[in-house]
Structure 1
Amino acid sequence: MQRMITYRGFEIHVELTPAAEETFDVTFLIKGGTNLEVLGARGGRVRLRNGPFTERWAYLVAEIAGQAAIDVLLGPVE
């Protein structure tokens, strides 16, 4: 299952992979902007730890992690 969230001009692409009954491993990929090689392995997907998660938690955790990564790159919101 996939979902795309926009945040501060970037796209956070979330992908869930079934792990067990009703739980998922989750990865995210950030697209947009310039010089994103600093995120993940050359801009690749980032796998989230401490899973698997339920579907709702998987999307929430990935969205927050993606937003935090973008905030680190761009600095605080003015």
Structure 2
Amino acid sequence: MHRTIDYRGFEIYVELTPAAEDTFNVSFQIKGGTNLEVLGARGGRIALRNGPFTERWAYLVAEIAGQAAIDLLLGPVD
């Protein structure tokens, strides 16, 4: 299962893989934007820890983690 979230000129790609009945492992990847050199070789897929999660929690946790990573790279929103 996949979802794409637009945030501050970037796209956060979220991928869920089944772990057990009604639970998922989740990973995300940041792509796009005008500051691709900021991501460099580290723009790969990141697996989130402390799972598996329910579907709803998996998407929420990945979205928040992706947004936090972008905020860290670009600084606060003015």
Q: Shared fold by TM > 0.5? A: yes
Deviations 1:17-50 (A, max 9, x none): 000000000000000131112xxx6311000000
SS at match of 1:71: helix
Q: Structure 1 runs of 4+ off > 6 angstroms?
A: none
Identity fraction in percent: 80
The residue aligned with 1:30 is: 30
1:37-76 Cα distance to aligned partner (Å, 9 max, x none):
2xxx631100000000000000000000000000001000
2:73 aligns with 73
Structure 1 unmatched ranges of 5 or more: none
Q: Distance in 1 between matches of 2:75 and 2:32?
A: 16
Number of the residue aligned with 2:9: 9
RMSD, aligned CA: 1.0
Query: What SS does the corresponding residue of 2:52 show, helix, strand or coil?
Result: coil
The runs of 5 or more residues in structure 2 that have no matched partner are none
CA distance in 1, matches of 2:42, 2:5: 21
How many residue pairs are counted as aligned between the two chains?
A: 75
- Structure that is richer in helix per residue: 2
